[in-house]
């Protein structure tokens, strides 16, 4: 299959305060804490780290386990905790959008993104940027593995050069993937890898209970029981369910059981 479209879309930067709060699943919290304290240190005291062989983090693990959400929550917390010292901005990049089989297109998209990062210097006081390349493996897939070598040389000149010139006291790069096997070692050596695991069904059911707080009124006790019972049953029937599956099952169950009908 081939597609013809220009890579890239308009780049946006997001304020941490625009990120809704999500209580991460308990097994993911140590990862969040590690990311938060490291980013906080780098953004507030890490100027000496300019030439360190470290540019950020690579979160990897199965589909739908909360990799992107961890980054969003770290950004939200950084915004809260560094509020009086600097301006934290978040630039989420959907890698599949900038992936292009057309020669030179992905490189142009990268230039646009990194050029945009530079403009933040003029717009904000002491900006600190979290740059996220979400689903970064799609950059590899877009060219096919047979062309990966060429891809690497071409992208090397733009992506890795830009990332290498970043000072992590100003810009921290995150990438996420569920296909670690497809990633070039050049990415793995620059970004510190952290595995984001699946969690037990009991923990997913407990997260479902939290999620229902925003979907049902406090007096809908019976309805809550019905949804939780059904969600647990369906999770038990699934192979390796995730938090994304749990969210979807809740909505499907609420609608199917007529709980939201007027
Ligand atoms: N603890 C949580 N409580 C409620 N919802 C959550 C939680 N963690 C993640 N989510 C939600 O679950 C969905 C899946 O999470 P997310 O997109 O972060 O997974 P992912 O690992 O990045 O998936 P993919 O591999 O497809 O990129 C998202 O809608 C996210 O907001
Ligand atoms: Mg994701």
**Which pair of tokens denotes residue 18?**
């625009």
Q: In angstroms, what is the span from residue 44 Cα to ligand 1's centroid?
A: 29
140 in the same domain as 67: yes
Would you state the pLDDT for residue 215? 95
In a domain, 5, yes or no: no
User: CA 218 to CA 141: how far, in whole Å?
Assistant: 46
Nearest partner of 27 among 196, 180, 175, judged by Cα: 196
Alpha carbon 51 to its chain centroid, in Å, reads 25
In a domain, 66, yes or no: yes
In a domain, 1, yes or no: no
State which residues of the chain have pLDDT below 50: 1-6
Nearest partner of 112 among 87, 137, 131, 84, judged by Cα: 131
Alpha carbon 84 to its chain centroid, in Å, reads 25
Would you state the pLDDT for residue 78? 98
45 in the same domain as 81: yes
Would you state the pLDDT for residue 248? 97
Would you state the pLDDT for residue 93? 94
242 in the same domain as 164: no
Domain count, the chain: 2
3-state helix, strand, coil in the chain (%, to 5): 55, 15, 30
Residue closest via CA to ligand 1's atom 8 equals 66
209 in the same domain as 168: no
| DSSP per-residue letters across 173-237 | EEEEES-GGGS-HHHHHHEEEEE-----HHHHHHHHHHHHTTTS-TT-HHHHHHHHHHHHHHHHH
Would you state the pLDDT for residue 236? 98
**Ligand 1 atom, smallest distance to 196 CA:** 21
Residue closest via CA to ligand 1's atom 31 equals 69
207 in the same domain as 175: no
Nearest partner of 142 among 109, 172, 190, judged by Cα: 109
Range of the domain at 28: 16-195
159 in the same domain as 38: yes
Residues within a 6 A CB radius of ligand 1? 22-25, 63-69, 135, 176, 178, 207, 211, 243-244, 247
Of 167, 195, 223, the one marking the end of a domain is 195
In a domain, 46, yes or no: yes
**Ligand 1 atom, smallest distance to 70 CA:** 18
Residue closest via CA to ligand 1's atom 12 equals 244
217 in the same domain as 129: no
- Ligand closest to CA 63: 1
If you average pLDDT over every residue of the chain, what do you get? Answer: 89
Would you state the pLDDT for residue 144? 59
Nearest partner of 79 among 169, 171, 15, judged by Cα: 15
169 in the same domain as 53: yes
169 in the same domain as 54: yes
**Ligand 1 atom, smallest distance to 28 CA:** 1
pLDDT tens-digit readout, 20-29: 999 999 999 9
pLDDT tens-digit readout, 86-130: 999 999 999 888 877 677 788 888 889 999 999 998 999 899 999
70 in the same domain as 166: yes
């Amino acid at each position: 299959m081939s597609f013809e479209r220009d890579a890239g879309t308009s780049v946006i930067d997001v304020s941490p305060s625009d990120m809704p709060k999500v209580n991460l699943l308990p097994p993911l919290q140590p990862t969040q804490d590690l990311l938060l304290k490291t980013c906080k240190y780098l953004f507030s005291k890490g100027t000496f780290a300019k030439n360190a062989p470290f540019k950020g983090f690579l979160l990897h693990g199965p589909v739908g386990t909360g990799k992107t959400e961890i980054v969003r929550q770290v950004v939200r917390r950084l915004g809260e905790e560094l509020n009086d010292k600097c301006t934290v901005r978040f630039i989420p990049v959907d890698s599949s959008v900038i992936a292009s089989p057309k020669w030179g297109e992905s490189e142009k998209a990268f230039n646009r993104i990194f050029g945009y990062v530079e403009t933040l210097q003029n717009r904000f006081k002491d900006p600190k940027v979290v740059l996220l390349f979400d689903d970064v493996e799609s950059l590899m897939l877009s060219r096919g593995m047979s062309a990966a070598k060429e891809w690497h040389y071409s992208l090397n000149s733009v992506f890795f050069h830009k990332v290498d010139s970043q000072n992590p006291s100003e810009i921290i790069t995150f990438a996420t993937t569920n296909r670690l096997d497809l990633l070039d070692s050049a990415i793995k050596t620059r970004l510190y890898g952290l595995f984001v695991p699946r969690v037990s069904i009991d923990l997913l059911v407990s997260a479902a209970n939290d999620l229902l707080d925003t979907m049902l009124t406090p007096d809908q006790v019976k309805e809550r029981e019905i949804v939780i019972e059904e969600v647990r049953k369906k999770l038990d029937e699934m192979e390796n369910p995730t938090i994304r599956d749990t969210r979807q099952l809740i909505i499907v169950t609420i609608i199917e059981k007529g709980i939201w009908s007027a």
